[in-house]
């Protein structure tokens, strides 16, 4: 366990995470990939992110740690779950990671805040989480109160304030232990995107990656999203940018 390095890809969601989880990470040699994948989302990873802090106790932390290091023949372990960055409690999520793996190395995949909000909104529409008559602004929350669950809308926009969040993650785990990769690179050069991640892990990029599975184009705008709504989002996220 002492010589094993643990890499945690924390998302964000809608940054090519599903493609990485299903088409890239399982094919990387020299690591053990725990998931998640489309077919496998282990309960212990779900507990790691979502279990309340009363039950994320010493015994549960030990159990999660044992699950991580169960593949002790591997020197490198990779875990991927965007649940670490889609709860409105990213500060707490980094503490959770550190409780289990204090020396974790973190991979953060980011995307233009406006694009990610639109993409998440469209997904919620498509899978029926929200009704078709709900507008983009109906589900966006611009407050700084993620704990106010009775008033908070589904899409907590400040989750995407990379200017605040990324430096916090870098300070928490050490700047050299955090890789930040922008979705813009995935759209422009998917292989380079993969190479950056693999170089950080210290492995050779896998061959046979299915490139046509990459969903990296800006989301098409339906009639339900107005230019005014986009302008509001753009103005609210002007200071969110982090330069990789």
In this prediction, residue 224 carries a pLDDT of 80
Look up residue 155 and give its DSSP letter: E
Using left for φ > 0, alpha for ψ between -120 and 50, and beta otherwise, residue 213 falls in: alpha
Using left for φ > 0, alpha for ψ between -120 and 50, and beta otherwise, residue 241 falls in: beta
In this prediction, residue 4 carries a pLDDT of 93
In this prediction, residue 212 carries a pLDDT of 65
The answer to whether the beta carbons of residues 30 and 14 sit under 8 Å apart is no
Least Cα distance to 155 among 215, 236, 59 occurs for: 236
The answer to whether the beta carbons of residues 132 and 123 sit under 8 Å apart is no
In this prediction, residue 60 carries a pLDDT of 98
In this prediction, residue 219 carries a pLDDT of 63
pTM reported for the whole predicted model: 0.95
Angle at 42 between CA 210 and CA 105, to 5 degrees: 70
Alpha-carbon distance 104 to 97, whole Å? Answer: 8
In this prediction, residue 124 carries a pLDDT of 93
Block means of pLDDT (10 residues each) for the chain, length 244 residues?
88 94 95 94 96 95 96 89 89 96 97 94 93 94 90 93 96 97 93 96 92 64 86 96 89
The answer to whether the beta carbons of residues 175 and 244 sit under 8 Å apart is no
Alpha-carbon distance 80 to 7, whole Å? Answer: 8
In this prediction, residue 2 carries a pLDDT of 59
- Domains of the chain, by residue range, sit at 5-240
Determine the number of helices (DSSP H) and then strands (DSSP E) in the chain: 10, 7
Tokens, residue 135: 């507008």
Alpha-carbon distance 16 to 29, whole Å? Answer: 20
Tokens, residue 125: 């529409």
Alpha-carbon distance 111 to 195, whole Å? Answer: 18
Architecture of domain 5-240: 3-Layer(aba) Sandwich (3.40)
In this prediction, residue 218 carries a pLDDT of 63
Within a 10 A sphere around the Cβ of 118, how many other Cβ atoms?
Answer: 23
Alpha-carbon distance 156 to 139, whole Å? Answer: 8
Question: DSSP E strands: which ranges in the chain?
Answer: 5-9, 32-35, 76-80, 105-110, 140-141, 155-156, 178-182
């Amino acid at each position: 366990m002492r010589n094993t390095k643990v890499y945690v890809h924390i998302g964000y969601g809608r940054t090519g995470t599903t493609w990485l989880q299903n088409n890239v990470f399982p094919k990387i040699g020299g690591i053990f990939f725990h998931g998640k994948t489309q077919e496998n989302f282990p309960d212990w990873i779900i507990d790691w992110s979502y279990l309340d802090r009363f039950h994320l106790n010493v015994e549960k932390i030990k159990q999660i740690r044992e699950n991580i290091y169960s593949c002790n023949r591997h020197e490198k372990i990779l875990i991927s779950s965007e649940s670490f960055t889609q709860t409105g409690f990213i500060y707490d999520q980094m503490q959770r990671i550190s409780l289990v793996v204090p020396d974790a190395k973190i991979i953060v995949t980011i995307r233009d805040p406006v694009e990610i909000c639109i993409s998440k909104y469209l997904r919620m529409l498509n899978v029926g989480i929200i009704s078709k008559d709900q507008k983009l602004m109906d589900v966006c929350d611009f407050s700084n109160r993620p704990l106010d669950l009775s008033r908070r809308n589904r899409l907590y926009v400040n989750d995407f304030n990379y200017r605040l969040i990324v430096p916090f993650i870098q300070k928490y785990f050490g700047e050299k232990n955090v890789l930040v990769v922008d979705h813009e690179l995935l759209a422009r050069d998917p292989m380079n995107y993969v190479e950056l991640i693999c170089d950080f892990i210290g492995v050779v990029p896998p061959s046979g990656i299915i490139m046509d599975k990459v969903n990296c184009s800006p989301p098409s705008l339906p009639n339900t999203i107005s230019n005014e709504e986009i302008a509001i989002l753009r103005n609210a996220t002007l200071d969110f940018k982090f330069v990789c």
